[in-house]
Structures are given as structure tokens and as C-alpha cells.
Amino acid sequence: MGDPRGFLKMKREGGKYRPACERVKDYEDVGIPRTNKQSQEQASRCMDCGTPFCNWGCPIGNYIPEWNDLVFNRQWERAAELLEATNILPEVTGRICPAPCEYACVLGINSDPVTIRENELAIVEYAFGHELIAPRPPKKRTGYKVAVVGSGPAGLSCAVWLNRTGHNVTVFEKDDKVGGIMRYGIPDFKLEKKILDRRINIWQAEGIEFKTGINIETISGFDAVCLAGGSRIPRDLKIEGRELEGIYFAMEYLVQSNRMVAGEKIPAGKLIDAKGKKVVVIGGGDTGSDCVGTAHRQGASCVVQIELLPMPTERRPEDQPWPKYPMILKTSTSHEEGGERKWSILTKAFKGQALPAHAYRQAGGRQGARVKMLSCVKVDASLKEMPGTEFEIEADLVLLALGYLYPEKKGLLEKIGVEFDGRGNVNTDDNYMTSVKGVFSAGDMRRGQSLIVWAIQEGGCAAYNMDKYLMGESYLPVF
């Protein structure tokens, strides 16, 4: 390494953010970019460890020690080349990945780990800023036609790698723009959509064809197909009062908000607006956190996020030793902006009141009552109700952020007859091929709801196996 004692000289300096009182007024990136000098200093903390477990912790096997060393030595162009060799979207993972690599960092055993995620972001933004990233279409085409269904991280990863081998790749997306959950599920204050468009424009110039607004129903005419439609069926909370107005799935809320930020007009009768409302978010994960941040920006009067599971510890639990990814308390920028979090809370019922006549009209003429209260009870570590702990939470808007069950089966999946596993996901063999010859699957549709970095890895694995299926062998990287 450039400075083998850098970790002794420099302390970890994580990401910096705009003041909460400022950033809640807009949907712009909450982060403050680091200077090149700061990145070089943080890169110097990467140790010359015998076995870099950060590679093991990273699902796509980023060359972390190597590009940290290059950054320290100001060899930014070479660092960008190494980063691009494994990761098709470092500008995304550098912003929103939970960084399992950092929890596997050897330095993290007895000190603060290297700021790997921020270093990654610094490299890719330096590369874009100095025009080091440009379209590089393949020099030769194989003549094979490949279809990728879904333009989320898994589908895009698969498409990019297959295009680089020279296959003719068409990506089908049922929404009106490319990006999947990255575009419609993640708020702009975490991932501005111009970041996606910048990269998609490059891929188009490299020869990938994107067809949007198409709910594809046939896969004929292609030599191989990858199903990467994600896991879109949300987990519901079927309790008393679920039919009340004002209760929505988190993704309904986030998708609509992202569309409005992009300039789309939402009819008044379909608008989900937190302004002036008491908001309750059920679910303590990242999606719930995104709902919290969005509600703040819409002007909610108060926000409460509740979670069924106990509050995680701030330190690594003994049963989750290094280098495993630990379940510890995570406080996002959205949580820092306000609101309240409650743990070990079971929601028993929703209570409401009848809508007045003017509210019927505002709700598009829908009849019924609007949610006004949640009946809750505390639970112990085994999730059993604790007698005498019943309480209520006022709510005008409830958002269900409870995760996802499996992919949508009606339509293409049922029509082509792929098999499903015991969890309802698309079943594949070890080569990512489904029960239908020549049809592969990757991402959440295959493995279930997971991280974006795992979706990128899945797409790369599917591309390798599809290339091998078409060509007899593949020179793509094996993740």
C-alpha cells in the first residue's frame, strides 16, 4: 500500500450531509461531496492486510484494496478502470449500498473500518467529472438476440455484460422510464435520477436498446431471455380496519412521490400527500426510512415509525462476529431529520371515522371511513404480546413498509410456464436457467427481496451463464 501506516495516522471521516433544516425543504441529494484530498487521506487507511475480507464481503468482488491504493497515489484513471471492471453502477452503490464490505474490513476488528463506500463514490464521480467514462460499444457483434425483461439493477447488469460480449440486447420495461426500483422506489434525496440518466445514455450509445411502456407478453424471436422483473407483491397487514381510507403500501407512496418530483401531475383523487398529517410508517427497514424522509419533505405534522422486532444493539452482537454483516441499529439521514421510532410494537387494528361529504369528493367519490388511530400492543423478544401494554397512536396516513413476498405471476410468467420455488419466486438451476430452456432469471425475482448490490451480482451471474449457453463458453467475469 502507498502508506502502510495510514490507518494509524488518519481517523475515519464518514460522509457529510447538508443540515437537516435545509435539506427537508427539497429533494436534492442530502450528501456533501468530499474533496479529492479527503478521499486520498481516507484511502490511505486501507491496510496492507494479508487477506482482504472486504472482497469477500462485497457481493460483486470489488477490487477494494487495489483502487484504494490507486486513489492514495492519485492514479484516479486506473482506479476508475478497476472499479468499472466489476461494478456497472458504482455511482448508485456508492450512494445507497449498506456497505457489507465495510463490516468485513480487517481494520474494523479493533478500529473504525475504511470508508469504502465513500471512496467508491469519489472514484466514479471523479471519472465522470474528468470524462473518463465514455461509450465503448463492442467491436464485433455475435448475431445473437437477447431479451432482458425488467430494467432494475439485475436486468441492467445482465444487459450491460451481455452487450459487452457483442450480443444484441433489448431491455423491456413496463414503466415509462428505465431504472426500476432505483428510479421509482428510491427518493431523489438519496439517488437523484439524473445520476441514472447519465449512465443509461452511455449504455444506449453502446448499443443496448431500451423499450419502455411495454408489458411484454411473448419472448419469441430471441435466442435467450432473462427475467428480471423484481419482487413486486407487497406483504400486507390484514387486520381489522385495513379497508379504511388513508392506508397505503409504502411503494405506492414512494412511486407517486418520485413521479411528482419528476414533474408528473397526479389527479387530486389519487394524491397521497402527508402535508399536515400525522403519519405512521409500519416497518423499520430502508423502505420505511425512505417514507419517513419523504413525509418530512411533504410537510407532515408528525411522523412515527414502528417496528415489530426489538431495537437492535448499536454494537455488533456476539452471535454475528466479524466479518459477517451484523444486524445493528442503523440511523439514516431521514431519521436524523425528525420523527420518532418505536420498537417491539404489534399493530392490532386500524380505527377510523366516517368521511364528511367534501372528503368524498376529494377522495374521488370513494365511500367509507378514513383511518384515525392504530391500536397497538408491545411484544417481548419472542414477539408475544405483553399484557397491560396496549396503547393507541393517532394517524391520518399509514404506510405499510413490510417488504415483499414474490414477483407478479400473472402475465408473462404464467404464460411461458416457468416453475416457482417454495417461496413463490422463479425457480432456476445452478446456471440461473428456469424450467423453460433458454429462459433465465436474476435478481429479486429469483432470490427474493434483497439489496441492490446483490441484484447487480445476480445480473452478472445470469449474463455469464447466458453467454455460455449461447457461445459454449464465456469470458465474462464470474461473481
Q: What backbone phi and psi angles, to 5 degrees, belong to 427?
A: -90, 135
pLDDT tier at 364, thresholds 50, 70, 90: very low
pLDDT tier at 51, thresholds 50, 70, 90: very high
Q: What is the pLDDT of residue 354?
A: 81
Report the chain's mean pLDDT, rounded to a whole number: 95
Q: Hey, what amino acid is at 365?
A: G
Q: Hey, what amino acid is at 138?
A: P
CA distance 416 to 216: 11
- pLDDT value at 466 more than 90: yes
Strand partners, 398: 247, 280
CA distance 66 to 92: 20
Whether 189 contacts 176, CB under 8 Å: no
Q: What is the pLDDT of residue 360?
A: 52
What ranges do the domains of the chain cover? 6-129, 145-232+406-471, 236-402
Question: Grid coordinates representing 476?
Answer: 465474462
Can you tell me the mean pLDDT for 334-363?
Answer: 85
The single residue listed with the C-alpha cell 469470458 is 475
Q: Which residue has the higher pLDDT, 218 or 440?
A: 440
CA distance 149 to 226: 6
pLDDT tier at 474, thresholds 50, 70, 90: very high
Helix or strand (DSSP H, E) at 400: strand 397-400
- pLDDT value at 1 more than 90: no
The model's pLDDT over 97-138, given as tens digits with 9 standing for 90+, comes to: 999 999 999 999 999 999 999 999 999 999 999 999 999 999
- pLDDT value at 287 more than 90: yes
The model's pLDDT over 72-95, given as tens digits with 9 standing for 90+, comes to: 999 999 999 999 999 999 999 999
Sorted by sequence, the CB contacts under 8 Å of residue 76 that are 6+ apart come out as 36, 70, 123, 126, 127, 130, 132
Measuring CA to CA, how many Å separate 424 from each of 6, 20, 203, 219, 229?
A: 49, 41, 32, 21, 14
Q: What is the pLDDT of residue 33?
A: 95
Q: What is the pLDDT of residue 105?
A: 97
Determine the CATH number of domain 6-129: 1.10.1060.10
CA distance 68 to 39: 9
Q: What is the pLDDT of residue 4?
A: 83
pLDDT tier at 365, thresholds 50, 70, 90: very low
Computed from CA positions of residues 47, 51, 56, 60, in that sequence, does the dihedral angle turn out positive or negative?
positive
Helix or strand (DSSP H, E) at 296: helix 286-298
Sorted by sequence, the CB contacts under 8 Å of residue 74 that are 6+ apart come out as 36, 40
The single residue listed with the C-alpha cell 411503494 is 251
Q: What is the pLDDT of residue 479?
A: 77
The model's pLDDT over 175-230, given as tens digits with 9 standing for 90+, comes to: 999 999 999 999 999 999 999 999 999 999 999 999 999 999 888 999 999 999 99
pLDDT tier at 2, thresholds 50, 70, 90: low
CA distance 347 to 306: 9
The single residue listed with the C-alpha cell 488518519 is 10
Of 3-7, 319-323, 443-447, where does mean pLDDT reach its minimum? 3-7
CA distance 430 to 423: 17
CA dihedral (242, 248, 251, 252) in degrees, to 10, reads: 130
- pLDDT value at 162 more than 90: yes
CA distance 317 to 321: 7
- pLDDT value at 160 more than 60: yes
Q: Where are the alpha helices (DSSP H) in 133-249?
A: 153-164, 181-184, 193-205
Would you call 32 helix, strand, or coil by DSSP? Answer: strand
Whether 325 contacts 113, CB under 8 Å: no
Superfamily of the domain at 236-402: FAD/NAD(P)-binding domain (3.50.50.60)
pLDDT tier at 356, thresholds 50, 70, 90: low
Helix or strand (DSSP H, E) at 397: strand 397-400
**From the DSSP assignment, how many helices (H) and strands (E) are in the chain?**
19, 17
CA distance 477 to 339: 45
- pLDDT value at 258 more than 80: yes
Can you tell me the mean pLDDT for 330-339?
Answer: 97
Q: Hey, what amino acid is at 96?
A: I
Distance between first and last Cα of the chain? 25
Superfamily of the domain at 145-232+406-471: FAD/NAD(P)-binding domain (3.50.50.60)
Computed from CA positions of residues 416, 448, 304, 347, in that sequence, does the dihedral angle turn out positive or negative?
positive
Whether 164 contacts 189, CB under 8 Å: no
Q: What is the pLDDT of residue 50?
A: 87
Do the first three CATH levels of 6-129 and 145-232+406-471 match, i.e. the same topology?
A: no
Helix or strand (DSSP H, E) at 333: helix 333-336
Can you tell me the mean pLDDT for 219-243?
Answer: 96
CA distance 117 to 119: 5
Helix or strand (DSSP H, E) at 80: helix 76-86
Question: Grid coordinates representing 396?
Answer: 391520518
Can you tell me the mean pLDDT for 241-259?
Answer: 98
Local structure of residue 270 (DSSP, 8 states): G
Q: What is the pLDDT of residue 366?
A: 47
CA distance 166 to 137: 8
Sort strands 16-17 and 31-32 into parallel, antiparallel or unpaired: antiparallel
pLDDT tier at 441, thresholds 50, 70, 90: very high
Separation of CA 55 from chain center:
20
- pLDDT value at 410 more than 90: yes
Angle ∠(293,397,289) on CA atoms, nearest 5: 25
Question: Grid coordinates representing 457?
Answer: 451480482
Of 181-185, 224-228, 352-356, 388-392, where does mean pLDDT reach its minimum? 352-356
The single residue listed with the C-alpha cell 435520477 is 193
